[in-house]
Structure formats: C-alpha cells, structure tokens
Structure 1
Amino acid sequence: MKAKKYLSLFITLILVVTWLAGCGGQNGQKDGQANQEVAKVETGIDSEQYFNGYLVAEPSTLDPSKGADNYSNTVLNNVLEPLTRLEEDGSLNNVLTPAGAESWNISDDGTVWTFHLRDNKWSDGEPVTAHDYEYGIKRSLDPATGSPYAYLLMPIKNASDVNSGKLPVDELGVKAIDDKTLEIKLEYPTPYFGELTYQRVMMPQRKDIVEKYGDTYGTEPNTIVYNGPFILNEWIHNSELKFTKNPNYWDTSNVKLESISMKIIAEENAIYNSLSNGSIDSAGVGSPEWIERFSAEENLKHIETIEPSTYYLFFNTNDKVFKNANIRKAFSLAIDRQELSNVIFHGINAPAYGWVPPSISLGNDEYRSMVKEPLLLLAEENPDSKKLLIKGLEELGMDTDPKNLTVKISLGGTDQWFRTYGEYLQQMYNRNLGVNITIEQLEWPIFNSNVMKGEFQIGYMGWGAEYNDPASMLSLLKSDSNAIATGWKNEKYDKLIDLAAAEMDEQKRLEYYKEAEHILLYEESVVAPSVYPKSNTFRYKYINGLGVTPFGTSGWKYGYTQGR
C-alpha cells in the first residue's frame, strides 16, 4: 500500500527544517567520503559543539517501519545508520556513499546486490550485523506491520506477494549470508535501487528490542537502540528532543557536535523570533517580510532550494463531470499559475506546468532540463480554456452554459490560509471559466476519508518525492497505486512506468517517462499541478557542515560551529 506524503499544510512544509530521506547520485560502489573536506578536523572550531534546531511537530514514532512523517525521518537519519547515505561533495552534488555497508557488489544482470558491512555497534554495545538489516527490511514488508512506505521496496524479489500476504516473509529476497554480508535479490534490474538503500524502511532494527517493547517500540528514547551518529537521550513530548554524540558509532571521530536540541515550535512567528534572538541556529522561512528582514542580517546566510515536491489539484475521474478529459483540461488550464504563486504563495514558490519537479534528476541531469513541461504545450494549443470546458460538457450531453455548472472543491484544512486559498479558487475559476465554485473545508482526517471513498469532485494536496528519480512521482498514478485517489486507470501509462523501472539505458528511461508524463497531463489532465514549493533557510554563519540539498541524508553528522 502506497503512503501519502501529504504537504497539504503549506506553512508546515515551508517551516520544517529537515533533511529528507530520498535518493540520488550514482548506483554502485563508492570508496567513501563524499564529505571528506567537511569531515576533516577543522582548526579553530568552537570548544563547545552544540546545535539548537526545531521541528514543527513532534515525530509520530521512531519505529523505522511505521513512521511516515518528515519529523521522525529527520531523527532517524541521525540516530540510525542505513546501508548508504546520500552525501554532498564540495560542489553540492549528491553522491551515494558507504555507511553501514563499507562496500557492495552488483551482479552482471543487475538483480543481486551484495552489501559488505563494516564494524559498528549499537548504543548498548551489541555488534550491528547483517541480520539486523535483514530483519528491518522484512519487518517493513510484513503485512502485519502495516508499513506506509513498504511500496518503496517493491523491486525486491517477492516483495509484492509478501506484502499482500500471498507469500510468507521468509520468501522475501533478502538474506544475511553471515554477520557481515547482506544479499538482496531483485525482481528485475532496477536502475534506482541504490537510491532506496538509505530509506527508513531499509534501516536496521534489533529483533530482540522490537519484540521486547512491542507496540511501544520507538515511542520513547529507551524503547529503541541506536547505531547512528547520535543518541536520543530525552524526549519531552510536544516540547523538545535532546541528543548526544554516539561514542559507539563507527565514524564517531568525524562527528563534532556533542549535543543537539530540537524544540517543538509550531507557530510561525515563534520560529522567526527564536531565530532572531539566537535561541535556534537555523530556520526555514516562508514569510516574505521575514525573508527580507533576515536577508539584511549580516550574521545569517540564506539558502534557497526548490523542494522535490509539487502542489496540485486532482480530479475524481469517476465523477459525472470530471470523467471527461476535456473538462479536466479546462480546469487545469484555467489556473493562472503565476498569479497563484504571487497572490497565495507571496511569490516564493515557482509555477508548475509539469508533474515532476525541477529538483528531480535522471542520472546526472535534471529531468526538467531535458523534458518540456506538458502543460506549457497544452496551453499553447488551447489559449481559451473555456472552449475546452464547453466541448467537454457537450460530449457529456450536459448544459453547455458554464454559468449553470457548479463544482465543489474540497480542501483538507480549516485555517485562515485555506479560507483565503478557497476564496481565490472561487474567483479564479469564475473569472476564467465562468463556473460556480463551492468550497468545502474539512479537517484533514475527514478530507482524507472522503477522498479515499471517492466522495469529492476536486481535491487539493501536495506530494514530495521519496527518492531522486522521476519514478518517485510518476509511479504514484499507476492503476495499482492508491497514493492519489483519482480513480484513473491507463494501461499504456502503467506499461511505460513498468518499462522505465527495469530499463538500465538512461535515454530509453527518459523517453518512457516523457511519454508517461505527456499522457498524465497533456492527454488526460488527471492532476493539475499548481506550484513547485521553494524553501528559504536562514542559518547563522557559525554553523557549518549541515546538509543543504533536499535529498541529502548526512543530517547533523558533519555539522560543527566555528565562531559562535
């Protein structure tokens, strides 16, 4: 079952300071330190090494198999050691580097990956073994666990049948050959599999600890053991998480920060004031006024990135109106994306005319630099979106006068931002299509339930890619996915995504993805992308070595302060 990585709360996404678990870089074996320059012992660094940060909300759980939020992911990246990490080189390029595995081999046919583990210890002194990684992966795919991100592991042999309960967990293609060797067999050659090896669902877990604590595993600091750079010492729920350096970590000599505090701060202005008065060292900023103010501060550095995410409207293709492709196209083209970016998102976010955001790469190149956004072509060919609406209404045998059409848009939030957004959508669609729009504002659980039951016409959400490949976004709309509940099915689209998943030739994969995105947006308009969110991070200049790129997973490992 695919998990929804919802970004429906705009402020939450903008404010969260997190290093996303995703993928990128090169497949294959690397000899080590993408972050060598950062990891070198710096001269003249501060004698006291600590970092003060924040999370917008507290982690749901530190159970790697069950967590689905960015907050828990931020913590897990720093307290557990995956097989690999996606680190940043001196040019801020992502490079897949050894972590829990010191090396790995790939069979000639690309279907067998063999990982050779390094010496590492858990925080209780027990050695980390290949059996811990095997157990963690199998537990994530065990249907009894109900892991929301189990779908990421579907390239593994028998993963689908194991996850659906058709085969026992022992039939999964994951096996500890010995304490230091982990073998993973795949269903088919998967060009991006290396980019899945540092996801939370592939992190190691101790069977004895999981069984000891049962449902409370990962809910308190003492209900989990750690094998990453840091240990969670204190968790004051809804208030603060406190960490210290892990002395048992294999690379502890390159970890400089001795302690870390992550306060739970949900209110926007409270975060900005905390950064301003120095009680936190780094913050994501979504307010234009505060961006301008912090940009003028000489002691702060400004980091701007486009997130690997897309905000979008989506259509219920089983609805009597939106089962028509021309009507869906009309509603997509009627979105004034530049105006939306300026009015609703204060000019911070970028207009979106494609489904795959600009920060996603295929191989060494950004996907969007190679593939024109499909909605740009659709708009060029259809300058009057109202004509498409009338055509669609005629095809359905309905009244072709737009003023007699009323459509409901459902929003999964009830605060002022959603009220403002709803009012804007009403005005925009009335102006550009002449239709009547009613806005339904619901609390998120009710909205989500209605969407999953198909009780909506148009919904609004956002999605963030889990790994750095177009498949992370395009596979969400396959007919066997329930990630985005549009009710849409297209055999050709499914086949293209399946072909791309097993194709090792990058140019062929590019063509498959290009055609699939064309079907999704140009031919069918199943979803209507609106903006690509940007993040603006302000960080005190004495902070060094923290990750910058959206997909990077080095977290706090190489962080240090100099001149605090």
Structure 2
Amino acid sequence: MKGKMFLAILLSLLLAVVGLVGCSSEDVSNNVADEGLQESSGIDREQYLNLVLEAEPTTLDPSKGSDMYSNRVLNNVLEPLTRLEEDENQSNYLAAAGAESWEHNEDGTVWTFKIRPNKWSDGVPVRAQDYEYGIKRSVAQETASPYAYLLEPIKNASKVNSGELSIDELGVRSLDDETLEITLEAPTPYFLALTYQRVMMPQREDVVALHGDSYGTQIDKIVYNGPFVLGTWVHNSELILNKNHNYWDAETVSLDNVNLKIIQDENAVYNSLSNGSIDIAIANNPDWRQRFINNDKLNHFEVVRPSTFFMFFNTRDDVFQNVNIRKAFSIGLDREEMANVIFHGVNTPAYGWVAPSITIGDDEYRSLVPGPVKRIAEENDPKELLIKGLQELGRSTDPADLTIKVTLGSTDQWFRNYGEYIQQMYNRNLGVNVEIEQVEWPVFSQMASRGEVQIGYMGWGAEFNDPASLMSLMTSTSTAIETGWSDERYDELIALAASEMDPAKRLEYFREAEEILLYEASVLVPTVHPRINIFRYKYVNDIGVTPLGTSGYKYGYTQGR
C-alpha cells in the first residue's frame, strides 16, 4: 500500500491502481531513446498515459505524507532502496533499486546496502547519506511522521521517536557515499519489506532545510531521483509526470509523460474510460462493470485488495469513551447487507482487522483466525449493549435521545449515499439519530488527527504482506489512526511479533492482539474488505495489478493506441 499506507481514504483511496510490472523484453526497454527501434518494435512513437488520481495528494514530503495519492506519486519520483515488482504471472518479487545489492550479518541484525550510482534531478549525485537522512528524518520526533511506527524494528527507533534518545543514536549510518548500514533491535522477518516504504526513501538535507515546512508542497520544493519528475501540479486538478533523464535506469523508461487527472466523481471516471480520455480505471458498479467486460478493447482484472474499510471511534469523546457503546455501534452494522447494497456484492464483509490475502508463514492469516467482531454479535444484542453503556455513563437510556455524528472525508455523491445508508442502518438497529458531516479529504485528515470527529470512516491498505502492516497501526506510538486508545499488552504483543521468526508464535501474538483491539476494546469497526475490477485498454502494457507492487510507472508503455 503499505502502504500510511495514510491516513488513507475509504473507498476511492483503496481503489487506486497500483504497481507496474517489469518489462518482459529488453528491446522494449531500449526503444525510447531510439526512434528506429520504436518503429521496428511496433510500440507507439508517443509514449504517454492518462490515469486517474482520486484526490489531491496532501504532501509529497515522504516523511509526512500518509495518503495513497501522494504515495503513488512518490513511488515514481523517488527511488527507494528496493522495489516490489511483478512478474508475468502477477507474482511479486523484491528487486534492487536505489541499492544495487545488500547483505546482512549472521543473525540478520545488521544490514549493509550498496548504493548504486544515480543523480538527483538537479544533477547532484545521490549518496548513502541521502537515504540515512531520509530515514532519520522520518523517525525524528519533531517530524511527527504518521508512518514512523513502521521503522520501530531499527535499533533505538522507538526511543528516538519518543524523544528519549537523540537522532544520532538511531541504528542508521552511512559508512561512505556508497554504503548504508542499518542495525536492527532484533531479527525482523519483514525488514526488507520496509525498504520500499516512503519513510525509507532518500531526501536531500539541503533541500529540506531550504524549503522548511513547504517542502514537498510544490513541484519546485522537492528534488527527484526516480524514473520521473513532477513537471506540472495544478492543485485539485492534475499532476503530470515527465521522464527523468538523470535517472540511473532511464533507458528502461518508455513513457515520456504520465497525466494524473484528479477526478473524484465515480460516473465521471466511468465516462472518461468509456470515451478513451483515460486509459485505466476501477469499475465496481454492476452496470458499468458489465459494460466494460463486454468492451473488446479492454482487459479486465479482478483483484483482492489486502485492505480494510472501517469506522473508528474517538475514545476521548463523551459518548464513545464507553466500550459497551462502541461494541453496540460495531455490531449495529449489518455487514452482509452493506456489502451487497453499498458495494454491489463485490466486497466481502469484514469481521477482523487483518485483511484477506495477507499471509503469515505459508498460510493466509484470515483463514486461521476468525474475525473477533462476529463473536460480539453472537453474544450480544446491539440495542441492549447501547442501553447498558448509556446507563454506565449516567445518560438517558432512550436511544432516541442520543445523536451522534459520522464524518466522511469526501463531498461527492457516493459518500452522500453512503452517509444516508449509515443513518438509516443505525436508526433501524440502534434507534439513535445520526448526523452526517462531509468534508474534503485534506480537511478530514486534519480533523481526525486532532481528534475532532466522533466517528470517522476510512480505508487502509497493507503496506506489505504481513499482519504487522495493519496491526502496527494501532500501537501507542503510532499516530496513523487517531482514536485516543492505547493498551500496554497490545503494544507488547506487536513488539513480540516484530522480533519473532517462528510463524506459529507470531500467529498467536497477532491473534491475541486482534482480540484486544476488536473484541475487548472495540476501537475500530471493520466493515468490508474490498475487491476491485480493473479495466485497462489493450494497448497499455506492463501496468501491473498486484496491490502491493511499488514499481510505479517505470516499465509501462503503449502499443497500438
């Protein structure tokens, strides 16, 4: 995702098209620089893509951003140490990127990365110190990075992030311009998966110092070392990526331009795909989905996302400080009905936090651990739980006297329909009154981070294939999802799982932690796990569909537009 990822925004956020596959033949990689080879290979002379970005990126500061939209851009304009690429069978594999090689000591606690020759977009050489600075800035307390929790396996990261130790004590150092050394607290089974996350991307200290708080907010307030540079950014309208000719692997990049149009309205996206003004889109609406399936100009891919849509409570709120009221609102939702009515039968009901398709060892986690929310519903009546909670708070026990507010991070019609549906369901199942507040995503993100919502609604996609990617979001050191809740035993379990190499033991740690989160405390309300239908014009090649892939648009090309 991975991914945060964001905060990540509910439906549209998690339906982003991600990942690019590696080129299947070397001649395609070399065709861009040679028009004669372009003609002989048959690929189009003009290489561009028109794609959709569902909302404005909050920032392109890799340490401070948390939404999927900025992450999609960052995967293309910055070069992480590694990338998770996709083969012809839609299987992911780890590939060298900013680091051309790496090795570790016997127990896997010290990793050494050889940084390959590369240049920033202003011609300055990329150095190991740039990766060191980027990681340290993400961990530093003053940065307040929402994804800092991902880096806790690094030696002293937690204490640095809490202010107990100085940044110099972090287990990251450049041995010279080409060598980066990272020391871990303990062997970490998913450490390499962190090396392609935004919080480990390189940053130039001089550029950050020059622009201060405005770093990453405009195209001229960041430098780039990835396959593309950001050439145009018309806020709330369009971003245009241009090929980066300073990039170390520029010969592999076929696309000259990638136009990311910010389109929030679902029907506008469908019409744009239908008339050919965009090249790829998600279509889960039954009527449009069938129409696109019948279109012989389009390829169709159905993908299970390792993501969860969810509601979250502000546990400092006068009402939702009570666990029985939280439980009542959790099981007051009919997830089966929601999946069928709101999500057209495409998505699946969610009774756990960890999403399907996420594995632990060789097994899918969700196949081994039943969702804890279902047990709450089996043991309790939602209205009785609500009344019990109201009694404990000394409030009126008539549900009709209770009015709560649900805040949604979009103002479009889909969310308006969703809000009305939530109102009706809670009124029917709990007898309460529900106000719906709709704000734009950046405003919602700020409100949520300040604890200014009673109930919020979002979606979150796993950043990497491990339960830790989602479970770590709710530790007391994470600021990813602001609920005001923390639990020492939960923190302990996530820390144990992070340093345990035995999958069976890790499974038990995660099982207990998820029980605390969803059954005992009921802090989150998972609603559905998404499936998506991707439609792509057949002239588009090497645009992958794996949800965790991070190749960006590096390998894409068109043939026969």
Same fold (TM over 0.5): yes
Q: Provide the residue aligned with 1:344 in structure 2.
A: 342
Q: Provide the residue aligned with 2:37 in structure 1.
A: none
Q: 2:433 aligns with which of 419, 433, 437?
A: 437
Q: Provide the residue aligned with 2:370 in structure 1.
A: 372
Matched, 1:56 2:54: yes
CA shift in 2, pair 1:521/1:40, >3 Å: farther
Matched, 1:536 2:533: yes
Shift of 1:173: 1.5
CA deviation vs aligned residue, 1:312-340 (integer Å, no higher than 9, x gap): 23334455654554443333223111111
CA deviation vs aligned residue, 1:358-416 (integer Å, no higher than 9, x gap): 1323344432233222233444x43744454456566677776x656624142235554
Q: 2:24 aligns with which of 34, 37, 48?
A: 37
Give the residue type in structure 2 aligned to 1:49: Q
Q: 1:498 aligns with which of 495, 498, 503?
A: 495
Quote the Cα distance in structure 2 between the aligned partners of 1:489 and 1:227: 38
Quote the Cα distance in structure 2 between the aligned partners of 1:450 and 1:247: 40
Are the equivalent residues in 2 in contact too, given 1:378–1:522 (CA < 8 A)? Answer: yes
Bigger shift: residues 55-64 or 552-561: 55-64
Are the equivalent residues in 1 in contact too, given 2:4–2:65 (CA < 8 A)? Answer: no
Q: Provide the residue aligned with 2:33 in structure 1.
A: none
Quote the Cα distance in structure 2 between the aligned partners of 1:454 and 1:70: 21
Quote the Cα distance in structure 1 between the aligned partners of 2:375 and 2:27: 49
Q: 1:171 aligns with which of 169, 172, 187?
A: 169
Bigger shift: residues 553-562 or 456-465: 456-465
Are the equivalent residues in 1 in contact too, given 2:52–2:278 (CA < 8 A)? Answer: yes
Are the equivalent residues in 2 in contact too, given 1:547–1:553 (CA < 8 A)? Answer: no
Q: Identical aligned pairs, as a percentage?
A: 61
Quote the Cα distance in structure 1 between the aligned partners of 2:143 and 2:165: 15
Are the equivalent residues in 1 in contact too, given 2:139–2:148 (CA < 8 A)? Answer: yes
Quote the Cα distance in structure 2 between the aligned partners of 1:318 and 1:59: 29
Are the equivalent residues in 2 in contact too, given 1:411–1:418 (CA < 8 A)? Answer: no
Give the residue type in structure 1 aligned to 2:24: E
Quote the Cα distance in structure 1 between the aligned partners of 2:313 and 2:217: 37
Shift of 1:74: 1.4
Q: Provide the residue aligned with 2:6 in structure 1.
A: 5
Are the equivalent residues in 2 in contact too, given 1:7–1:311 (CA < 8 A)? Answer: no
Write out aligned runs for 1:398-413 (5 A): 403=399, 406-413=402-409
Q: Provide the residue aligned with 2:114 in structure 1.
A: 116
Q: Provide the residue aligned with 1:361 in structure 2.
A: 359
Matched, 1:556 2:553: yes
Q: Provide the residue aligned with 1:28 in structure 2.
A: none
Are the equivalent residues in 2 in contact too, given 1:410–1:447 (CA < 8 A)? Answer: no
Q: Secondary structure at the match of 1:41?
A: helix
Shift of 1:56: 2.7
Shift of 1:96: 1.7
Q: 1:519 aligns with which of 516, 519, 534?
A: 516
CA shift in 2, pair 1:477/1:149, >3 Å: closer
Count the aligned residue pairs: 546
Bigger shift: residues 94-103 or 439-448: 439-448
Q: Provide the residue aligned with 1:152 in structure 2.
A: 150
Quote the Cα distance in structure 2 between the aligned partners of 1:406 and 1:8: 27
Q: Provide the residue aligned with 1:241 in structure 2.
A: 239
Point out where structure 2 has 5 or more consecutive residues left out of the alignment: 30-40
Q: Secondary structure at the match of 2:24?
A: helix
Write out aligned runs for 1:202-221 (5 A): 202-221=200-219
Point out where structure 1 has 5 or more consecutive residues left out of the alignment: 21-33
Q: Provide the residue aligned with 2:36 in structure 1.
A: none
Bigger shift: residues 184-193 or 449-458: 449-458
Are the equivalent residues in 2 in contact too, given 1:359–1:366 (CA < 8 A)? Answer: yes
- CA-atom RMSD, angstroms? 3.1
Quote the Cα distance in structure 2 between the aligned partners of 1:198 and 1:466: 9
Are the equivalent residues in 1 in contact too, given 2:403–2:434 (CA < 8 A)? Answer: yes
TM-score (norm 2): 0.87
Bigger shift: residues 532-541 or 324-333: 324-333
Q: 1:510 aligns with which of 507, 510, 515?
A: 507
Shift of 1:99: 0.9
Write out aligned runs for 1:72-87 (5 A): 72-87=70-85
Are the equivalent residues in 2 in contact too, given 1:307–1:534 (CA < 8 A)? Answer: yes
Write out aligned runs for 1:156-305 (5 A): 156-305=154-303
CA shift in 2, pair 1:259/1:504, >3 Å: same
Are the equivalent residues in 1 in contact too, given 2:133–2:205 (CA < 8 A)? Answer: yes
CA shift in 2, pair 1:537/1:502, >3 Å: same
Quote the Cα distance in structure 2 between the aligned partners of 1:220 and 1:315: 34
Quote the Cα distance in structure 1 between the aligned partners of 2:482 and 2:206: 38
CA shift in 2, pair 1:163/1:290, >3 Å: same
CA shift in 2, pair 1:317/1:37, >3 Å: same
Are the equivalent residues in 2 in contact too, given 1:8–1:412 (CA < 8 A)? Answer: no
Quote the Cα distance in structure 1 between the aligned partners of 2:446 and 2:46: 49
Give the residue type in structure 2 aligned to 1:206: R
Shift of 1:514: 1.4
Shift of 1:548: 1.0
